[in-house]
Structure 1
Amino acid sequence: MDQKLIEIRRRLKDEFAFYSRSAVKIRTKSGDVRPLVLNKVQQKLDEVVEAQYKATGKVRVIILKARQQGLSTYTSAKIYSRISQMKAKKGLVVAHKADSTRALFDMYQRIHAEMPELLKPSTRYSSRRELVFDKLDSGLIVATAGGDGIARGETITHCHLSEVAFWPVATAADNLNALLQAIPNRKDTEVYVESTANGMTGVFYELWQGAVRGENGFIPFFSPWFDSDEYREPVPEGFERTYEEEELAELYGLDDEQLMFRRIKIAQTSREQFMQEYPSCADEAFITSGRPVFNPEQIQELLRNAPEPIARMAVEDGVLREHPRGELLVYHPFDPAEVYTIGADVGMGVRDGDYSVAQILDSRKRQVAVWRGLVHPDYFADILQALGIHYNTARIAPENNNHGILTAVRLGRDLAYPNVFTEVNEGKLNDQHTIAIGFRTNVKTKPLIIDRLRAACRECEIEINDKETLREMLSYIVNEAGQMEAEPGNHDDCVMSLAIANHCHEGKFTPIHVTDDFYIEAI
């Protein structure tokens, strides 16, 4: 083989964009069979995949997609390119229902059938669920989500999991866990999890949030609908933008043809359906199934503009110190002249995966910092004491329900923290009044503090910077029974602790500082 052919063969193996347009043929939306020339969205994904592969030797990517951007096509061609050019590789494709499984496998078979002879591996057999490359000892099998024991006993190297948000709820978690366990954590293995969104619950949403937080080894990939050049419609004469369209155009750089496409799609379905299937940002895609408590548009805007923490800190030996993996995310610098309030929601701890959260507000109701972690209720009191002392002996209001009683009593009695929120419980007739340490959340007080937080958000009286808090607010709903709670599969620890902090805050005000020249200066 001469040097030119060697170079071409190298490019076919190492440069997927070159491989796809030279060797892969797909059926287009118009029914034609054409080479796969990567579109803008596919190019963006390929850059992310290749960067991760070069850095780690493997691929773990979760893809949140809009409708028909070609990302399933990209994934199919990418996996085929790997298993058809490497020895001892086994691919698995799992879709949410049988006809989707067949459609994906048909795509793999078409790619194989149209492959140039130079690149087409020897095939022992190809059935309706399996493609085997005998000389390479590689191959591909397909399955449909919903059955028990998918891939049990198998060792998979390349995995394409499609429309995971729509996998049957009863078996989705077990199937996904089994599949991920079947893939060894070593080089030259690849996992692609892709789906459109389906509410703020389920295994896809949880995996996406874990990827966003950098907790599970997956890289999150999202591309908005307007990255697809075909999502345009001719603009009729006399077209005028609405106020909302003006804002979107300014925010995302949209033109009138893109706005017209959006307008027509909304008219055909609904605004909420458009946001789910054609999202402009990742958080917009996850529409709640219940009635949201907080204004979704306002929370989405806050999420888009949410700052990164200026520091991370951890409690070590009873003192707050900067730490790269600390549980305390800091959004405003500490001010020795400030007055701080801390609201706390107490979780069960490590065994139950139930978070404890402390929200720290300053006098202007700015969310200064958030502590979120898995600790036992008794130790959470020590955490709160350290936070309170650091923040100028802040007023601390721990929730005293259930296991929160242990936190509240330890903080106020055993540790003798001097500034704990207390409530007076009136006795009946001749009974004496009692003083309760902390805040009691019940059927009467919960609607009160949530409504106050909702009003504070609506009137922009509170500044919320933490992304995790904002995401919880998006999934906090009124259910069919009229109760306010987190949508199933989500948390509300950040919401409740913020509601307690807001409720126990003594009122928004601007502190005054005494300068060195003894003048009083309001800031």
Structure 2
Amino acid sequence: MAELTPAAREVRRRLLHDYRYYAAKSLVIRAKNAQIVPLKLNAAQQILQDAIEEELASRGYVRIIILKGRQQGLSTHVGGYLYFNVSQKEARKAMVITHHSDSTRALFDMTKRYHDNVPAILRPSTKYSSRKELSFDRLDSSYTVATAGGDQAGRGETITDLHASELAFWKASKARELWNGLYQAVPETPGTNVFVESTANGVSGLFYELWKGAVEGTNGFRAVFIPWFLQPEYRSAVPEGFERTPDEEELVIKYNLDDEQLQWRRIRIAQNGLDLFRQEYPCYPEEAFLTTGRPVFNPETIYGMMEDAKDTKPHSRLALEGHPEIGFEWNKHSRGELEVFEPHDPSESYYIGADVGLGVRNGDWSVATVMDSRKRVVARYRAQVDPDYYAYVLNELGLFYNEARIIVENNNHGILTCNRLGKDLAYPDFYIEEVLDKTTDKITERLGFYVSVKTKPLIIDQLRADLRNNELSITDEVILRELSTYIVNESGAMEAEEGCHDDCVMSLALCNFIHEGYFEPIPADDDWYVEAI
């Protein structure tokens, strides 16, 4: 083979190290107009490539999580970048995991198109090619695709390039185990790449947690989000008589949108509705997360509370120490189950709502929410304790909070908690239901509150109305997170999203149900009395 000229050597060097140059000169894609064209990076892809290059410059490897909108070409970009690496370098193993078999095939077909159309001088020797893998024998590198929930992909292997696609839609029961296995297979060494990309799917789950950790700078990932209005093609001709709505005027002020972009937005909203538009074409990350699913509580209200609570830390944490025979005492403890958000006030009136868990590991939680007279959540107890012991916890919690009025769910194992608290411990201010005995036609008393298909909507709808009217003040992120993942399922029932809990929601709803409301005192000075006379 003839020796390369200096100019040719420089071209080859750029093809090896400069992905932007390599993509435009070597890769082809099927464009939106159904034409096969060179991969010239669009605005969104340029932003992603900037983030990749910043990662490489700062620490030598890439860890990026992408919250994406619709048809921005970010999956295409990641696929091209992985092929760029494995087809030119030795001992690389790329693994792509998607949420659905159709997506798996689509991403592999895209990579196969790269491979089939790359210039011959850049196409590596191929040992074999299947519907799931490209293997390059001389480089000892490979590119493999798989579907989440299938075989334990990545187990026992060392992966250099990982692409977790649509992570928010991986099956919740298997997502964490699969992700942990894959992520642990990628060494934290120079040249390795991990990309997580997905559209949003509610304020819960693995993808949301990874995104939140990246934004907060706690998990080692760089967060990348590109709003829809950076796409130059997202414009439509403006008709005569076009006038902006108040909401559109706000968008113009915030994001400097023009009328062509607003008209394009109007058309998409008319076709699919505002909620779907916000999910698929978000202006900011939280908009995408908050408009997915079928939330019971207003997402914007909950998100506003989350923003207000972001910098709020618990006043203290307390643990209940002692034994029934010798007595109990609340003591400060860094890992105490009782998180206190406001200092205790000896003159205040308090209310406690309690949801009872079974007390087993990996099960539901026993939660007690404490409100003051102004409907501020001042404390929250959350632990996995036995139902009988939970009665002692509630007794001590109520006494600590000035003999607070307590309401306890009496379903299933909650019956034991209610009997122990109301009868054995004789708590002084315990909620008792009056129930009509249909057999004797007499009114009987029942300790606690029975949550049924009839009574659950009563307390949840009251909580929903009071939250909408801004009557509650909540700075507890655990409660707010559960409120955000409390949904209406396909059968119309209200419950926690799969993989989430609703113990805090039920505890809060019960507490709100027995709250007598807050009355602002009217100051009365001498002038008031003169006017009254």
Select which of 75, 84, 87 maps to 1:72: 75
CA distance in 2: counterparts of 1:254 and 1:190, whole angstroms: 35
**1:99-124 deviation line (CA, Å, top 9, x unaligned):** 53343223324444666788765543
Partner of 2:188: 187
Q: String of CA shifts for 1:260-309, please: whole Å, max 9, x gaps.
A: 2221101122223223322343464465665x543455445555655443
Preserved contact between residue 330 and residue 369 of structure 1 (Cα < 8 Å): yes
Paired residues of 1:294 and 1:476 also in contact (CA < 8 A) = yes
Inter-CA distance 50–78: structure 2 relative to 1 (3 Å threshold) = farther
- What residue is the counterpart of 1:129 in the other structure? 132
Match of 2:468 in 1: 458
State the alpha-carbon separation in 1 of the partners of residues 418 and 16 from structure 2. Answer: 62
Cα distance in 2 for residues equivalent to 1:9 and 1:233: 42
Q: Which amino acid in structure 1 is aligned with residue 277 of structure 2?
A: F
CA drift at 1:508: 1.6
* Aligned ranges 1:401-440 → 2 under 5 Å: 401-410=411-420, 416=425, 420-425=429-434, 434=445, 436=447, 438-440=448-450
Q: Return the alpha-carbon distance in structure 2 between the equivalents of residues 44 and 159 of structure 1.
A: 16
1:445 to 435, 455, 459: 455
User: Measured at CA, do residues 434 and 160 of structure 1 come closer, stay the same or move farther in structure 2, by a change above 3 Å?
Assistant: same
Report the Cα distance in structure 1 between the residues aligned to 2:213 and 2:347, rounded to whole angstroms: 35
Per the alignment, in what secondary structure is the counterpart of residue 194 of structure 1? strand
Contact 2:79 2:111 (C-alpha < 8 Å) held by counterparts: yes
Structure-2-length-normalised TM-score = 0.74
Shift of 1:423: 0.9
Which residue of the partner structure matches residue 519 of structure 1?
none
8 Å contact from structure 1 (residues 359, 369) kept in 2: yes
1:235 deviates by 3.2
Q: Does 1:495 align with 2:497?
A: no
- Correspondence for 1:343: 353
2:243 counterpart of 1:240? yes
Structure 1 residues 355-378: Cα deviation after superposition (integer angstroms, max 9, x where no partner): 333333232212344444544445
Does the CA contact (< 8 Å) of 1:365 and 1:462 recur in 2? yes
In the TM superposition, what whole-angstrom CA distance separates every residue of 1:184-220 from its partner, at most 9, and x where no partner exists?
Answer: 35324654343334568xxxx5212443565996856
Report the TM-score, using the length of structure 1 for normalisation: 0.75
Using a 3 Å threshold, how does the CA distance of structure 1 residues 58 and 272 change in structure 2: closer, same or farther? Answer: closer
Deviates most, 43-52 or 177-186: 43-52
| 1:264 matched residue in structure 2 | 267
Query: Residues 55 and 479 (structure 1 numbering): CA distance in 2 closer, same or farther, change over 3 Å?
Result: same
1:277–1:285 contact (8 Å) kept in structure 2: no
Helix, strand or coil: the match of 2:352?
strand
Flag the 1:301–1:408 CA change in 2: closer, same or farther, 3 A. same
Q: Counterparts in 2 of 1:92-491, with a 5 A limit?
A: 92-97=95-100, 99-112=102-115, 121-144=124-147, 148-149=150-151, 151=153, 155=157, 157=159, 158-164=161-167, 173-174=173-174, 177-178=177-178, 180-181=180-181, 184-185=184-185, 186-188=187-189, 190-197=193-200, 206-211=205-210, 214=213, 219=221, 222-250=225-253, 254-280=257-283, 281-282=285-286, 284-285=288-289, 287=291, 292-299=295-302, 301-303=304-306, 307-311=310-314, 313-316=316-319, 318=321, 319=330, 321=332, 323=334, 337-378=347-388, 380-381=390-391, 384=394, 388=398, 391=401, 394-410=404-420, 416=425, 420-425=429-434, 434=445, 436=447, 438-479=448-489, 483-491=493-501
Partners of 1:190 and 1:390 lie apart in 2 by 53
Secondary structure of the structure 2 residue equivalent to 1:311: coil
Pick one of 34, 37, 40 that aligns with 2:41.
37
Which range moved further: 210-219 or 221-230?
210-219
Of structures 1 and 2, the larger Rg is shown by 2
Cα distance in 2 for partners of 1:467, 1:457 equals 15
Q: Is the 8 A contact 2:354 2:507 kept in 1?
A: yes
Any idea what SS the aligned residue of 2:460 has? helix
- Whether contact under 8 Å (1:310, 1:332) holds in the other structure is no
The amino acid across from 1:184 in the alignment is: Q
C-alpha RMSD of matched pairs (Å) = 4.7
CA pair 138-419 structure 1, distance change in 2 beyond 3 A? farther
Equivalent of residue 89 in structure 1, options 89, 92, 95: 92
Q: Which amino acid aligns with 1:422?
A: Y
Describe the SS at the equivalent of 2:370: strand
Separation (CA, whole Å) in 1 of partners of 2:69 and 2:166: 11
Which range is displaced more, 182-191 or 74-83?
182-191
Task: Give ranges in structure 1 of 5+ residues lacking alignment.
Answer: 514-523
Give the partner amino acid of 1:161: A
Q: After superposition, give the CA deviation of every residue in 1:234-277 in whole Å (9 maximum; x if it has no partner).
A: 43333222233344445655443333222110112222322332
Query: 1:397·1:439 contact (CA, 8 Å) conserved in 2?
Result: yes
Contact 2:200–2:208 at 8 Å: present in 1 too? no
* Aligned sequence identity (%): 47
| Ranges in structure 2 where 5+ consecutive residues have no aligned partner | 322-329, 524-533
Q: CA deviation at 1:505?
A: 1.4
Other structure's SS at 1:80 match: helix
DSSP 3-state at the match of 2:75: helix
The 8 Å contact of residues 315 and 343 in structure 2, kept in 1 or not, is answered as: no
Query: How much does 1:384 deviate?
Result: 4.7
